[in-house]
């Protein structure tokens, strides 16, 4: 599945909910299904700086595709990172670098986050793209 197909799937899923309380509940459920980061990777080096909550992200390259794992100490933030991991994991680094993230606006996520969480969301996306850039550089 391409990044765009995953994003379309997420947009469709979020459109099924009538209000933001239901969407928050869904994000919390997504966070619970997140493939957890191995405890050995829950280090200061893997914390995303600029997030209100603690968010750890680890990246590996498996068969020329990025595989991300993550965790957070806050349920909403864990849901946010789960959406991003679902979007970018198992994708080639160049596709991650080229991907736009307009789907976040389409599901209305940024509009329903506090300013600090919205900044954290942007920081999470930047970090995932930085991992992709590092691995893409290794491939070239």
Q: pLDDT tens, 6-41?
A: 999 999 999 999 899 999 999 999 999 887 799 999
Q: How many domains does the chain have?
A: 1
Lowest mean pLDDT segment, chosen from 34-38, 55-59, 63-67, 81-85: 34-38
Contact predicate 72/84, CB 8 Å: no
pTM: 0.94
Residue 102, domain CATH:
3.90.1010.10
Q: Which residues are catalytic?
A: 51
Q: Which two tokens stand for residue 92?
A: 């080639």
* Integer Cα distance of 41 and 91 in angstroms: 21
Q: Which two tokens stand for residue 3?
A: 């990044």
Domain that holds residue 132: 3-139
Neighbouring C-alpha atoms within 13 Å toward the C-beta of 25: 7
Contact predicate 108/22, CB 8 Å: no
* Integer Cα distance of 64 and 84 in angstroms: 19
């Amino acid at each position: 599945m391409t990044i765009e197909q995953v994003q379309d799937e997420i947009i469709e899923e979020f459109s099924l909910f009538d209000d933001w309380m239901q969407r928050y509940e869904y994000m919390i459920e997504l966070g619970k299904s997140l493939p957890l980061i191995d405890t050995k990777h829950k280090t200061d080096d893997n914390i995303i700086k600029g997030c209100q909550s603690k968010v750890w992200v680890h990246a590996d390259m498996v068969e020329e595709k990025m595989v991300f794992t993550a965790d957070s100490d806050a349920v909403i933030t864990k849901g946010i990172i789960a959406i991003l991991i679902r979007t970018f994991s198992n994708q080639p680094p160049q596709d991650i670098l080229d991907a736009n993230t307009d789907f976040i606006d389409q599901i209305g996520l940024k509009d329903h986050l506090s300013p600090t969480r919205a900044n954290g969301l942007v920081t999470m996306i930047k970090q995932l793209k930085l991992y992709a850039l590092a691995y893409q550089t290794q491939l070239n």
